[in-house]
Structure 1
Amino acid sequence: MAYTLITANRNYSSWSLRPWLLMKALGIPFADRIEPFTKPANYDEFRAFSPTGQVPVLLDGTRTVWDSLGITLYLADRFPQVWPTGEAARAFAMCAVSEMHGGFSALRNQCTMNVGVRVQKPPFDAALARDVARIHELFEEGLDRFGGPWLAGADFSAVDAFFAPVAWRVRTYGIDVGRGRAWVDTVIAHPAMQQWEAEALAETWREESHEAELGGAGEIVADYRAP
């Protein structure tokens, strides 16, 4: 098999991080192709390789697999380690992945992902506070029920990949996730996450709309990205 995974900027692209980290952490080989966001709307350019005009996209020979969840489900048919082996842990992981994929809109919108900066966040509004409380609850439930260090037990699985962008947000905005911080520290220390961060810090791309979202999220108190 010869997979190619198409992703975008390391600083910005939370959706890209999910399958990239999943494949790296599970040792699934792939060619790494970056198509950066160069303007607020990249739909027309991305339509050349993506039916939705978005990333990530997995190429498997002549087959195109799109969307981070679609890619995860596709890989799970071929690599059983994508999901935890225990029935209870697998059910938790599948539900949490689905919840992350379809929810947490306030967290996404008000705490845009940017790996290379630190932001002083104003007080949370009610919607963001609810999202953070639910993240806090999910992290602690996974660790308590399945024993850690990963969210569904001893082994890395899809649920860890799906919440990895939240780990960067926790660090960027100083979000309190209670005992879930143990998982945040564990996933950030993973060699693949360290690689992603190193590539993010080395990026010189700046895209106007993403930078505007970052500026609106709070006061930037540190920027470690290459100039």
Structure 2
Amino acid sequence: MYKLYIANKNYSSWSLRPWILMRELSIPFIEEVTSFKEGSNWNEFRVFSPTGLVPCLVDNDKVIWDSLGITEYLAEKHTEVWPERPEARAWARCATAEMHSGFPALRDQCSMNCGLRVKLNEVTGSLQKDITRIDELWNEGLRQFGGPFLAGSKFTATDAFYAPIAFRIRTYGLNMSAESLSYAELLLSLDSMRAWEEGALKEVWREPGHEKDSIKSGVLIEDFRKS
């Protein structure tokens, strides 16, 4: 059986991607959590990951690192990872790659923290550019392939890669179109996303760097995490 190494569910958007993908597609795996600690996590994460980063997938004697690398590895064994239609599959791969490498302002100013609600001090020009592009991308996929997911009627890797954005929208109250907000709510309503959030809220770990990042662009309104 696959073994998936992840970090804190509250913070780790990269870990969420393969985790939610495998849960939604009913691909069995064993979850291994190593929490972030203050400073470098290199030594702890290097035990299972060659890059010292999460997520990391182990399949018997094979070690697959990076969320996109894991996705493509799984796609070779599970055809439902990508959409069946060629045009949807091509679009989905491009949208997924864009998420994997892009949107730096959103990552910097709105880091993932499932348990918090934060009021942004301002929406900078660079942040608005990222939000507008995601809104545009989501609407394009929903309209072109008929929804309710980004590349058609079924959850695929593209939805998994944008799942952390749904948490960010709720945490920071990001303003998007009605269609995009509806899609984000759909993601948040999935049993797998609810399970991830439930796990995140129960975590008692707090890592100072991630905590500072969560509120560096705004003011904390509520904290729903276990004390």
The number of residue pairs the alignment matches comes to 226
Find the residue that maps to 1:91 and give its secondary structure. helix
| Residue 115 (structure 1) aligned with residue 114 (structure 2) | yes
Q: Which runs of 4+ in 1 moved over 2 A?
A: none
Give the Cα–Cα distance (whole angstroms) in 2 for the partners of residues 102 and 51 of structure 1: 20
List aligned pairs for 1:120-139, cutoff 5 A.
Answer: 120-139=119-138
Q: Equivalent residue of 1:5, what SS?
A: strand
The structural deviation recorded for 1:40 is: 2.7
Report whether the alignment pairs 1:21 with 2:20. yes
For 1:9 and 1:77, the matched residues in 2 are separated by 28
1:16-35 Cα offsets, whole Å, 9 max, x none, are 00000000000000001101
Q: Which deviations, in whole Å up to 9, do the C-alpha atoms of 1:72-118 show, x marking residues without a partner?
A: 00000000000001111111110000000000011001000000010
Which residue is equivalent to 1:209?
A: 209
Task: Give the aligned residue type for 2:43.
Answer: D
Show the counterpart of 2:80: 81
Unaligned runs of 5+ in 2: none
Partner of 1:35: 34
Residue pair 1:5, 1:58 contacting (<8 A) in 2 also? yes
In structure 2, the residue corresponding to 1:130 is in which secondary structure? Answer: helix
Alignment of 1:61 onto 2:60:
yes
Which secondary structure state, in structure 1, belongs to the residue aligned with residue 84 of structure 2?
coil
Q: Does 2:185 align with 1:185?
A: yes
What displacement does 1:177 show? 1.9
Q: Is the 8 A contact 2:110 2:172 kept in 1?
A: yes
Is 1:52 the equivalent of 2:63?
Answer: no
Residue pair 1:112, 1:217 contacting (<8 A) in 2 also: no
Please report the TM-score for the alignment, with normalisation by the length of structure 1: 0.98
User: What is the Cα deviation at residue 217 of structure 1?
Assistant: 2.5
Deviation at 1:215, TM superposition (A): 2.3
CA distance in structure 2 between the partners assigned to 1:92 and 1:74 by the alignment = 19
Q: In 1, distance between residues paired with 2:77 and 2:139?
A: 30
TM-score, normalised to structure 2, is 0.98
Q: Which residue of structure 1 lines up, in the alignment, with residue 196 of structure 2?
A: 196
Alpha-carbon shift at residue 204 of structure 1 (Å): 0.6
Letter in 2 for 1:193: M
Give matches, 1:157-172, under 5 Å: 157-172=156-171
CA distance in 2, matches of 1:215, 1:132: 18
In the aligned structure 1, how far is the partner of 2:186 from the partner of 2:39? 33
Structure 1 segments unaligned to the other structure (5+ residues):
none
Local SS of the residue matching 1:77: helix
Task: Please report how far the alpha carbon of residue 60 of structure 1 lies from its aligned counterpart in structure 2 after TM superposition.
Answer: 0.3
- Report the Cα offset of residue 48 of structure 1: 1.2
Moved more, 8-17 or 176-185: 176-185
**Deviations along 1:50-90, whole A, 9 cap, x unmatched?**
11000000000011000000000000000000000111111
Contact 1:167 1:184 survives alignment (8 Å): yes
